Amino acid sequence: MIYFTVHCDPLPGKEEDLDRLLANNAKSYWLAQPGVSSFHVYGDKLVGWPERTIMIEVNDLTALQPILESLERRQVRKEFMNLVDRVESQIQDVVV
């Protein structure tokens, strides 16, 4: 299993817009892709720390690569990048 994880901080005042984008556009996009088995968003509610963590579970790297390169993903990413300040991502291969 591959986990594509994204950590981000919403821009001030954009938390609700980011959550709406993630719950609607991003989730439906990712779950419609072949090889994607789950999409979860976690929010950290600590005072002054509005970080969101997005975890996307993909069957393998061969399924993830075309998704990352797609034009449709670039559009979702563009909308996402207009709502966040800091973004870190990682790809983790988990052997079961």
Number of domains in the chain: 1
With a cut of 80, say whether residue 10 has pLDDT above it.
yes
User: What are the pLDDT digits (tens) for 16-34?
Assistant: 999 999 999 999 999 999 9
Residue-level pLDDT at 7: 94
Distances (CA, A) of 64 to 13, 29, 44, 48, 89: 32, 13, 26, 33, 14
Residue 48: pLDDT band by 50, 70, 90 thresholds?
A: low
**35 in the Ramachandran plot: left (φ > 0), alpha (ψ -120 to 50) or beta?**
left
Residue-level pLDDT at 94: 82
Model pTM greater than 0.75? yes
What is the chain's mean pLDDT, rounded? 91
CATH number of the domain enclosing 11: 3.30.70.100
Residue 46 CB neighbours (<10 A) = 8
By residue range, what is the domain housing residue 8? 2-93
